[in-house]
Structure 1
Amino acid sequence: MSEIRIDTPADAAAEPSHDQDDRLTPEFVRAVIDHVERGEADAARALVAPLHPADIAVLFELAPSESRRPLAAALADLLGGDVLAEMNDWVREELMEALAPHEVAEIATQLDTDDAVAIIEDMGEDEQRAVLRAMEPDDRAAIEEALSYPEESAGRLMQRDLIAVPEHWAVGDVLDYLRRNEDLTTDFWEIFVVDAGHHPVGTCKLSWILRTPRNIAVSDVMQREQTLIPVDMDQEEVALRFQKYGLISAAVVDPNGRLVGMITVDDIVHIIQEEAGEDILRLSGAGDGDINEPVLDSYRSRVRWLIANLGTALVASTIIGLFEGTIARMVALATLMPIVAGVGGNAGTQTMAVTVRAIATNKLTQANTVRSIMREIRIALLNGSTIAAVIGSGVALVFGNGALGAVIAAAMMTNILVAGLAGVLVPVTLDRMDVDPAVSSSVFVTMVTDSMGFLAFLGLATLAGLAG
């Protein structure tokens, strides 16, 4: 029965495309791919045509790599700019390689400037030039200007298509302008008001324009206070501004304060998701962490941090070697060492994750750094006291050695306190040195907690004469 449903478009369409969590079902994806493999392009298009562009993009991401190009050929008329704009970067790059420059140019012209730039910026220089040559002069100029700005900046993110009117106009003039000009963008939430030098002086929400009498001057209803985004501002900082001030859109200005574009909240949602994911993946040293990333790229991004961790592990190993005689005389120490280091490492990771996130969201600044450090010290003392009491009592009972229980309790207390300090001081120090704390913090924090855990435990055991 399942084969019959797949063979005919009408029956296949009866197969639900989404599950209860609004995800494409494996059966639906398999049905589309089967049609393509059998050369039934019309049947495949009949299944995919009702999908939202975002779901079509997901379909390509779920398809096996070897099926994506045949799938793109079969669904060429559905593979528009709105689909590519939603597609995973790695999958989109793979498909772009299969298209001729004029085909990429045609798709790019359908998109807002920011989405077109996202497609073109990852291409090689030769491919970029070929695509730009195939575009209309106005579109090419806009793309080239955007590419001239730094990566992940407001200039790359902004849209050039916006509505700007002079401040001396009346509301009726604005309404007439919007209705008579068919070439104006259709997606906007507010109108920017500019002076004679094209500097933004205010904004008007569409609701204000629609509800205000025609004879009222725009300058009388506009909001003069607005958040202006410098064209070279990092996209993460832009996202923070949108979040802080609850913006729907914002004007982007060049170094001379002239209006050059706008950024809308739909673009910011992607940035917030992207930046949050990046921080988590960088803390683990997993690179981009994308399941569509080529294997060799993932290998290169991960192996360097594993090598760095190997180096820091040698430091901890050296410390253990200094107490080789102590360990040899009391084997129980070797059994308990990983507990001290492991719990300290987890405590450091907790503090580090909170600190890196606070730095990324501008909640941890020079104004409250000392207060944050003192807060983490208090938390570490509370955690250390609790864990030390538990592990100390447990070891004393299990091994029948009160001195050993006291030593491991003291070592645990020391290491958790050090872990709390390292978890906040390492990211803050790296941030002050203009080094991304999300990338490097975990290596240094792990080294500190492992080394201090072994040193405190073995050192105290030697001083207490437990192995004597």
Structure 2
Amino acid sequence: MSRDLADPEDELDIDTESEEDLEDLALGEDYALNPQFVSMVVDAADRGDSERLRDLLSALHPADVADLMGFLSADYREEVLPHLDPEALAEILSEMDHEIREEVLEAVAPETLARALGELDSDDAADVVDDLEADKRAQVLAAMPETERAAIESALSYGEETAGRLMQREVVAAPQFWSVGQAIDHFRREADDLPELFFDVYVVDPSYHPVGAVPISTLLRSKRDTPLAQIMESVSDIPVDMDQEEVAYIFDKYHLISAPVVEPGGRLVGQITVDDIVGVIHEESQEDILALAGVSDAGRNADVMDIVRSRLPWLLLNTLTAALAVSVIQAFEDEIAQIVTLAVLMPIVASLGGNGATQTLTVAVRALASRELSAFNALRTVGREMLVGLLNGSILAVVTGAAVYALFRDVGLCVAFAAALVINMFMASVAGALVPLALDRMGRDPAVSSAVFVTFVTDFTGFFAFLGLAALILL
């Protein structure tokens, strides 16, 4: 096996570093893996040094091991996999990128996977099982205890990116007639059945409907004879079929640490905690950023043809809109032939308009995603962006118009250029604000397709305004 990573500049040939030394070496100040450490892992794999590999891997947090697997090629991942700590395997799998995890899961025996998944909360276990091929999924589930298997199968029965898929079924609940002392005594007796991490005790009525929640901090501060109903706080119930983006919005708006999840009848079926929401926010923000560019998440191991298929349709649509914009140039080809300078200046008008539109578009899409922009304040927001476009266009017109006059000494050309720039910057602001609003109103994702249409508006307007004004003024 040949190495595909460079050796560290100063290869450490002493195999007696302490685990603390290796931890310091593994991560940089930004908590990213050091290339030197990755090279050390590759070198140990090349030499078949199992003991060294185990030492290096054991020095890493499971999340860092998952990151390491993303840097390694498929051959090296296969070499490293048998040396992973079996007790940490489940957490490592839950932290891996989906593409890499799918590959790694195929190399792990079903019985090993079943034992590992038993260490995870039901939401994380379901997320891992969802990446398994159907045959292997059946084998893994068959090897699991009935209770754990039922929890995972229940989670997988909900739609992707819903609260049901996101939630963990393990919750801490108590009847509303209990006191603080009764609750604490019960939790201590049933400690083995409690979730690994929880923040609230959900107070439920006889129908198991959540009527409130007692934060753990409040529970510990209260006297033993205090009724839970007296110290409980109101809760924000999350319907089991709610979209995960909506759930994240609720958590952010109401500053939640956890929330109960209820089925259609209102019965408590699980909980969502803030650590799950952090992942959702990260995932949704990545999707929006990529969608603005008309691409999907390529990942570190994405197939070339998959990337091509995700990007090509938008490029083809952009080709069509560009052809329409260029048709304006063709309509003024006689004017351009007489005044060649027009061909030099018209891309500047279109480019500045495009940049202005991108600024407005980015702000509008972010405002829509964060629910800061709605029909109620749309008119005010669009008006503000129109004014910004006029002011920016006017300032740029003065600056660039002066430069055009200094270069070409033609007042008419200067006026045509400056006026076209003001018009295009104004239209750029209008399009940047209105296009995502219109698409959102139509039920389309404004982050995905806005850029293509906004670019068309600025190109078309820029070319038409400049060439049309030049034809009127100069010819």
TM-score by length of 2: 0.93
Per mean C-alpha deviation after superposition, the further-off stretch among 63-72 and 347-356 is 63-72
Contact 1:36 1:74 in 2 (8 A): no
Q: Are 1:190 and 2:200 counterparts?
A: yes
- The yes-or-no answer on 1:103 pairing with 2:109 is no
Question: What secondary structure sits across from 1:301 in the alignment?
Answer: helix
Question: Which residue among 265, 280, 290 is the counterpart of 1:271?
Answer: 280
Whole-angstrom CA distance in 2 between matches of 1:259 and 1:455: 61
Offset at 1:262?
A: 0.7
Deviation larger for 13-22 or 342-351: 13-22
Distance (Å, rounded) in 2 between the aligned partners of 1:414 and 1:130: 65
Counterpart of 2:336, as a letter, is I
Partner of 2:221: 211
Aligned-residue offset at 1:299: 2.0
Which residue pairs with 1:291 in the alignment?
300
Equivalent residue runs for 1:1-150 within 5 Å = 6=12, 9-11=15-17, 14=21, 16-75=25-84, 77=86, 79-150=88-159
Q: TM-score with structure 1 length normalisation? A: 0.95
Q: Which residue of structure 1 lines up, in the alignment, with residue 377 of structure 2?
A: 368
> 65-74 or 75-84: which moved more?
75-84
The one-letter amino acid paired with 2:38 is V
1:304-359 CA-to-partner distances (Å, cap 9, x unmatched) read 22122111111111111111111111100000111011000011111000000111
Measured in 2, the distance between the counterparts of 1:77 and 1:103 equals: 8
* Alignment pair present for 1:441 and 2:464: no
Contact 1:384 1:417 in 2 (8 A): yes
C-alpha deviations, 1:54-80, integer Å up to 9, x for none?
111111112233311211123253651
The alpha carbon displacement at 1:397 in A equals 2.1
Q: Deviations over 1:122-143 (max 9, x none)?
A: 3343443333333222222212
Find the aligned partners of 2:280 and 2:33 in 1 and give their Cα distance: 24
Cα pair distance change 1:258/1:78, threshold 3 Å: closer
Partner deviation per Cα, 1:396-437 (whole Å, 9 max, x = no partner): 221111011111111111111111011011101111111111
Matched with 1:396 is 405
Question: Secondary structure of 2:271's partner?
Answer: strand
Q: Conserved in 1, the CA contact under 8 Å of 2:62 and 2:91?
A: yes
Does residue 227 of structure 2 align to residue 221 of structure 1?
no
1:372, CA displacement in angstroms? 0.8
Q: Deviation of residue 7 (structure 1)?
A: 5.3
Describe the SS at the equivalent of 2:265. Answer: coil
Q: Distance in 1 between matches of 2:253 and 2:434?
A: 26
What CA distance in whole angstroms lies between the structure 1 residues aligned with 2:18 and 2:72?
Answer: 18
**SS, match of residue 28 in structure 1:** helix
Residue aligning to 1:174:
183
Distance in 1 separating the partners of 2:72 and 2:405: 58
Which sits farther off after the overlay, 71-80 or 242-251? 71-80
How far does residue 292 in structure 1 lie from its aligned partner after superposition?
3.2
> In the aligned structure 1, how far is the partner of 2:207 from the partner of 2:237?
16
Q: Which of 416, 419, 423 is matched with 1:414 structurally?
A: 423
- Asked if 2 retains the 8 angstrom alpha-carbon contact of 1:9 and 1:47, the reply is no
Aligned residue for 1:80, secondary structure, equals helix
Match of 1:347, as an amino acid?
A: G
Letter in 1 for 2:144: M
Per-residue CA distance 1:18-62 (angstroms, 9 max, x = gap): 223332221211112221222222211112212211111111112
Q: Which moved more, 1:301-310 or 1:432-441?
A: 301-310
Determine if the alignment matches structure 1 residue 460 to structure 2 residue 466.
no
For the residues of structure 1 that align with 2:392 and 2:10, how far apart are their CA atoms? Answer: 63
Other-structure match for 1:333? 342
Partners of 1:163 and 1:442 in 2: how far apart? Answer: 47
**3-state SS of paired residue (2:272):** strand
C-alpha distance in 2 between matches for 1:125 and 1:447: 45
Q: Distance in 2 between matches of 1:352 and 1:32?
A: 45
Q: Which amino acid aligns with 1:216?
A: T
Q: Tell me if structure 2 keeps the 8 A contact 1:161–1:184.
A: yes
Q: Which of residues 260, 265, 268 in structure 2 aligns to 1:256?
A: 265
The one-letter amino acid of 1:185's match is P
Structure 1, unpaired ranges of 5+: none
Amino acid at match of 1:135: M
For 1:341 and 1:105, how far apart are their aligned partners in 2? 59
User: Offset of 1:11 from its aligned partner?
Assistant: 4.3
Q: How many residues align?
A: 465
One-letter amino acid of the structure 1 residue matched with residue 376 of structure 2 = A
Q: Please show how residues 345-364 of structure 1 align to structure 2 within 5 Å.
A: 345-364=354-373
Q: How big is the alpha-carbon RMSD for the aligned residues of Structure 1 and Structure 2?
A: 1.9
